[in-house]
């Protein structure tokens, strides 16, 4: 079965340096290498070297294509470089904060870069509502560029920050799928991806998806949020999501991010086993693992 991964983070040199600056202040003291050592992760090198590392990793696991997320505002250039070098393997996503000064201009510039197909919102981290007028403006930009909007809802923790001992000032109330539905409903032709099945706001995410046929879920990560719902299993989650959204609106993702861990084969294996267990038809599985990705981002 062909596998495309709709959710991988591209932790570039600039991403590591920004963490270092935040923790240690002086730029000179916070090289990507020193931050990588502190995290116990591999240093990323230059974007083209990291892109090469990803290609080899995807080859090793027979993953055909991957979405690479520029994981902090302003780092879209790093992913654009990776995509330009390997356009048949990578699709560019980037994090944007439309509520920051100049944020929407940054989104516009990012969407104009070659290979950038999706803009990612983290409202709980950046503290704005998903029905805010600036989010509406962002959807307008996505519509103009034929891009997809990724909106993180529900529980949010950022492993790199936790490991560095950096506070993550999230306000989880902003990650409300029902607020997203208000905006998504105005832009039926802008596809939306809600990662991790709504990340704990599963019921609300299902309601939002029922109301808005443009809303997709990604299946990514170990979906640790299921611990917030008594007796819920990941098999139940897949069954329910298939019942409400159908197989055309689920996209596989692993939420892979750092090396040496690399591609999270275990996430793929667990989800494949669950889809087998619940009797998901081959055609539906093909859509989840590659077909829907191709519809959203091109064959
Ligand atoms: Zn992620």
Average confidence (pLDDT) over 162-170: 92
The answer to whether the CB of 119 falls within 8 A of the CB of 172 is no
DSSP letter, residue 272: H
Output the CA 255–ligand 1 centroid distance in Å: 5
Q: pLDDT (tens digit, 9 = 90+) per residue, 244-296?
A: 999 999 999 999 999 999 999 999 999 999 999 999 999 999 999 999 999 99
pLDDT-above-90 percentage for the chain: 95
Give the confidence band of 25 by pLDDT, cuts at 50, 70, 90: confident
Q: Please give the distance, rounded to the nearest whole angstrom, from the Cα atom of residue 152 to the centre of ligand 1.
A: 9
Q: Which of the four pLDDT bands, split at 50, 70 and 90, describes residue 224?
A: very high
* Distance in Å, CA 257 to ligand 1 centroid: 8
Report pLDDT digits (tens) over 49-69.
999 999 999 999 999 999 999
| Confidence band for 234, pLDDT divided at 50, 70 and 90 | very high
Instruction: Classify strands 148-151 and 192-194 as parallel, antiparallel or unpaired.
Output: parallel
Question: Taking 90 as the threshold, does the pLDDT of residue 24 lie above it?
Answer: no
CA of 33 relative to ligand 1 center, distance in Å: 22
- CA–centroid distance, residue 173 to ligand 1 (Å): 19
Helix (H) or strand (E) holding 276: helix 265-277
Can you give the pLDDT at residue 30?
73
| pLDDT higher than 70, residue 74 | yes
Q: For residues 126-151, give the mean pLDDT.
A: 98
Average pLDDT over residues 2-18: 97
Q: Which residue has the tokens 């981002």?
A: 297
Q: How far is the CA of 195 from the centre of ligand 1 (A)?
A: 8
Give the pLDDT mean for 156-164.
Answer: 93
**Are the C-beta atoms of residues 105 and 84 closer than 8 Å to each other?**
no
Residue 168: its pLDDT value, please? 85
CA 29 to chain centre: 30
* Residue pLDDT, tens place only, 196-223: 999 999 999 999 999 999 999 999 999 9
Q: In the chain, what is the straight-line distance between the N-terminal and C-terminal CA atoms, in Å?
A: 16
Report the separation in Å between the CA atom of 71 and the middle of ligand 1, taken as the mean of its atom positions: 8
pLDDT over 70 (residue 180): yes
pLDDT at position 29 is: 64
Please report the sign of the dihedral spanned by the C-alpha atoms of residue 251, residue 252, residue 256, residue 260: negative
Contact (CB, 8 A) for 119 and 94: yes
Give the pLDDT band of residue 26 (cuts 50, 70, 90): low
């Amino acid at each position: 079965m062909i596998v495309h991964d709709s959710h991988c983070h591209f932790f570039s040199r600039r991403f590591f340096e920004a963490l270092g600056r935040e923790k240690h202040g002086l730029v000179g003291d916070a090289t990507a290498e020193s931050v990588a050592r502190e995290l116990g992760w591999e240093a990323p090198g230059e974007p083209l070297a990291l892109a090469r590392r990803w290609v080899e990793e995807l080859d090793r696991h027979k993953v055909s294509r991957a979405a690479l997320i520029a994981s902090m505002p302003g780092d879209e250039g790093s992913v654009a470089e990776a995509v330009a070098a390997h356009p048949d393997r990578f699709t560019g996503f980037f994090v944007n904060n439309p509520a920051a000064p100049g944020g929407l201009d940054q989104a516009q510039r990012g969407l104009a870069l070659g290979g950038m197909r999706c803009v990612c919102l983290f409202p709980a981290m950046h503290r704005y509502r998903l029905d805010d007028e600036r989010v509406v403006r962002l959807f307008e930009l996505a519509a103009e560029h034929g891009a997809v909007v990724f909106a993180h809802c529900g529980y949010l923790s950022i492993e790199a920050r936790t490991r560095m001992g950096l506070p993550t000032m999230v306000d989880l109330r902003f990650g409300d799928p029902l607020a997203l539905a208000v905006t998504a409903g105005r832009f039926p032709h802008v596809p939306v991806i809600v990662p991790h099945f709504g990340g704990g706001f599963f019921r609300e995410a299902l309601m939002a998806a029922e109301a808005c046929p443009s809303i997709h879920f990604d299946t990514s990560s170990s979906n640790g949020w299921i611990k917030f719902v008594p007796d819920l299993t990941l098999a139940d989650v897949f069954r329910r999501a298939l019942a409400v959204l159908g197989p055309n609106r689920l996209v596989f993702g692993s939420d892979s991010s750092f090396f040496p861990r690399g591609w999270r084969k275990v996430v793929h294996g667990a989800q494949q086993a669950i889809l087998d267990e619940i009797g998901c038809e081959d055609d539906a599985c093909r859509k989840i693992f590659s077909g829907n990705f191709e519809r959203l981002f091109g064959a």
